[in-house]
Amino acid sequence: MARPLEPNRRRSLSDPLAAALMPPPNESAADRERRLAAESEAKRVSDGIDEMLRAEKKEKKAKPEIKILLLGQSESGKSTTLKQFQLVHATAAFHADRIAWRAVIYLNLVRSIRRILDAVSPESDQLDEAEDISSTSPLFSIRQSSVVSVTTKVPKYPQYRRALEPLKELEERLIRVLSSPDEDEPTHTSPAKPDWSFYANGNFNSPVLIGKNGRPAPFITIPPTRASTSPLSPLSPSTSLPSPGGSSNSSSKSKNAEVSVHHTSNWKKAFSLGNRIKSPKSAHTNEIEGWWDDPNDPVHVLNACAPPMLALWKDPHVKQRLREKQIRLEESGGFFLDEISRITALRYFPSDQDVLKARLKTMGVVEHSFAIADGQRRVITWKVYDVGGARNQRHAWAPYFEDVNAIIFLAPISAFDQVLVEDPTVNRLEDSLMLWQSVVTNKLLSHVSIILFLNKVDLLLAKLKSGVRLNHHMPQYGDRPNDYEDVTRYFLHKFGGIHEKLSSNKERQFKIHLTSVTDTRRTATIIQNVRDIIITANLKNIHLI
């Protein structure tokens, strides 16, 4: 009786694999039975794997990944927006990270003090006169401090300088702790907590963390300054505060020395708390107990310097001199001068708001993943990419354009009277408008939803109230009223108009928000809104609705 060929026999005998798998010609009935049973088991396993792969594929389609890119110039608020995402969607992780920001907040405070000392030093006057910046723009006038009439002297300057001398060493120490100069020695492991005495004793090859999956170690880039080239040398006249002939009052020079965190950085791990015993109460916040008992902890220097820091910041001569030099420290990132007593307290623990205000410049691209419900009981992975916004960082953006779903573009509209740190001939608002135009006209991005944050409206309001006029810096604003409503309406039209006229796809999802991304409550609402827009656009794209 003709029997149908078993499936593997149907293969051509010219197929060497099929030939090898053929049963022997003299196969006994018992052998045949065993072979068929083995083949059937193999098929069952293989079908199971196929089914699993199909289910995985299906699940992936039903649970797509959403990729969001945060774009905008340096200091526009991208990393702060990312922190807000963490606060809303990964609250426990955000809280666990808070203590790690202590070093950054200390450094922000110390640097603000140094900027003041630089600005009020007698040496800085000559530097101001030497500075001459001219605008290259026909639309924006650059009104820098090129013609500054500085008349106020600060009689107590020598006392302040002497009393605050220890901050110089502390600044260097903090920079060193935040940085990992020997990144190419990946066998080092980071201290579970920063060992301040290690750094205080002049060890500069800070241990490096190996991230998960063998990812690179922490890496914070310190732009070359004297502070970073003279590692913890004993204080000498050439390294003492303020730097003679060094940074001037003008923002560009001192800000150029900003500490920045590289995309491969894992610095938070180095600062979160490790080996110390945690109390049950503090275990969930990852808080160690008793860092104030460590005599090498930076808090002791800060605590001792708190009275002269307070006196300096409150000194009316200092305030007057800063006004004359048009330095508004309240507008700079990492402004903690109004909270010196709280920040320098021995048991200071950063609040959510402190973390949002802390400033650490981004280098490269940093990726964060969040699991976010899409409203239909599915959890979607959101990948948010935070990029460095300075001009020399923007080349790193393009590779992320290809498969991104949405862009949150941040334009800090309070910056209409400021210039770029990296190029003082360019007005910041003008730079934002040019960047905005290049994003909306980019063909690679034509399918991408765009959410525009006209950011730092709190600073805008304060600036307008203090009498700074938009038309002094942007003549095309003309005679319109210089109040918050008119100015924001103008910016909404200006940025919205560029999208309307020039966008590579006018049908895309597009929304503008006036934001202050350091404001937790308002930003949380905006983030929900952004989430809904992006999810809807994404579902449309994958034809699920």
Ligand X SMILES: Nc1nc2c(ncn2[C@@H]2O[C@H](COP(=O)(O)OP(=O)(O)OP(=O)(O)O)[C@@H](O)[C@H]2O)c(=O)[nH]1
Residue 45, both tokens = 């396993």
- Single residue of 66, 389, 432, 503 touching ligand X by CB under 6 A: 389
Q: Hey, which residues does 373 pair with through a beta bridge?
A: 379
Q: Which of 5, 4, 8 is nearest to 42 (CA)?
A: 8
Listed in sequence order, the DSSP H helices in 27-71 are 29-62
**Closer of 168 and 357 to ligand X (Cβ):** 357
Q: Shortest distance, CB of residue 256 to ligand X, whole angstroms?
A: 12
| From 110, 459, 527, 534, residue interacting with ligand X (rule: CB under 6 A) | 459
Count of beta carbons in the 10 Å neighbourhood of residue 240: 15
Of 89 and 255, nearer to ligand X (C-beta) is 255
Residue 432 binding ligand X, by CB under 6 A: no
- Regarding 76 and contact with Mg ion (CB under 5 A), the answer is no
| Residue from the set 64, 218, 333, 350 that interacts with ligand X by CB under 6 A | 333
Taking alpha carbons only, the member of 299, 279, 300 closest to residue 289 is 279
Quote the least distance from Cβ 58 to Mg ion, whole Å: 37
- What 3 state SS string does 406-456 have? EEEEEEEHHHHHCECCCCCCCEHHHHHHHHHHHHHHCHHHCCCEEEEEEEC
Q: Based on CB atoms, which residue is closest to ligand X, 240 or 520?
A: 520
Annotated binding site for GTP: 356-362, 455-458
By beta-carbon proximity to ligand X, the closer residue of 125 and 458 is 458
Helix (H, G, I), strand (E, B), or coil: what is residue 82? helix
Q: Is 242 in the site for ligand X (CB under 6 A)?
A: no
Residue 298 binds: one of Mg ion, ligand X, none (C-beta under 5 to 8 A by kind):
none
Q: Does 80 bind ligand X (CB under 6 A)?
A: yes
Contact with Mg ion (CB under 5 A) among 362, 414, 418, 516: 362
Asked if 359 interacts with ligand X (CB under 6 A), we say yes
Residue whose CB is less far from ligand X, 89 or 357: 357
Stretch that binds ligand X, among 213-221, 263-271, 356-364, 535-543 (CB under 6 A): 356-364
Please report how close the Cβ of residue 330 comes to ligand X at its closest, in angstroms: 8
- CA–CA distance, 412 with 410 (Å, rounded to integer): 6
Q: Select from 73, 76, 79, 144 the one that contacts Mg ion (CB under 5 A).
A: 79
Binding site residues, as ranges? 356-362, 455-458
Using CB under 6 A, which of the segments 6-14, 77-85, 94-102, 223-231 binds ligand X?
77-85
Using CB under 6 A as the binding rule, whether residue 86 contacts ligand X is answered as no
Stretch that binds ligand X, among 76-84, 171-179, 376-384, 529-537 (CB under 6 A): 76-84
Q: Which structure tokens are listed for 360?
A: 């650490």
Q: Which residues pair with 172 in a beta bridge?
A: none
Q: Please work out, in degrees rounded to the nearest 5, the angle formed at the alpha carbon of residue 112 by the alpha carbons of 109 and 113.
A: 90
Residue list for the binding site for Mg(2+): 362
Q: Does 486 bind ligand X (CB under 6 A)?
A: no
Q: Rule CB under 6 A: say whether 388 interacts with ligand X.
A: yes
Contact between 268 and ligand X (CB under 6 A)? no
DSSP-based three-state secondary structure for 512 = strand
SS3 of 310-356:
HHHHHCHHHHHHHHHCCCCHHHCCCCCHHHHHHHCCCCCCCCHHHHH
**Tokens describing residue 185:** 């020695």
- Name the minimum Å distance from CB 337 to ligand X: 13
Please report whether residue 77 would count as binding ligand X according to CB under 6 A.
yes
Among 135, 254, 518, 538, binds ligand X (CB under 6 A): 518
517 lines the binding site for ligand X (CB under 6 A): yes
Identify which of residues 179 and 362 has a Cβ nearer to Mg ion in the complex.
362
As measured in angstroms, the least distance from the Cβ of 413 to ligand X is 10
By CB under 6 A, residue 456 contacts ligand X: yes
The Cα–Cα gap between 453 and 382 comes to: 19
Please count the residues of this chain forming the interface with Mg ion, following the rule CB under 5 A: 3
Q: Note whether 76 binds ligand X by CB under 6 A.
A: yes
Contact 420, 72 (CB under 8 A): no
Residues 150/324, Cβ–Cβ less than 8 Å: yes
**Concatenated DSSP letters of 456-471:** -HHHHHHHHHTT--HH
CA atoms of 264 and 220, how far apart (whole Å): 9
Part in contact with ligand X (CB under 6 A); list of ranges 3-11, 55-63, 354-362, 493-501 = 354-362
Query: Which tokens go with 63?
Result: 């649970």
> 10 Å Cβ neighbour count for 104?
24
Give per-residue burial for 302-329: e unless 16+ CB within 10 Å, then b. Answer: bbebbebbebbbebeebebbbebbebbb
Rounded to the nearest angstrom, the gap between the alpha carbon of residue 23 and the centroid of all alpha carbons in its chain is 65
Question: 243, 247, 250, 455: which one contacts ligand X (CB under 6 A)?
Answer: 455
Among the listed residues 86, 190, 286, 516, the single contact to ligand X using CB under 6 A: 516
The site for ligand X (CB under 6 A) is made up of 72, 74-80, 333-334, 356-357, 359, 361-362, 388-390, 455-456, 458-459, 516-518
The site for Mg ion (CB under 5 A) is made up of 78-79, 362
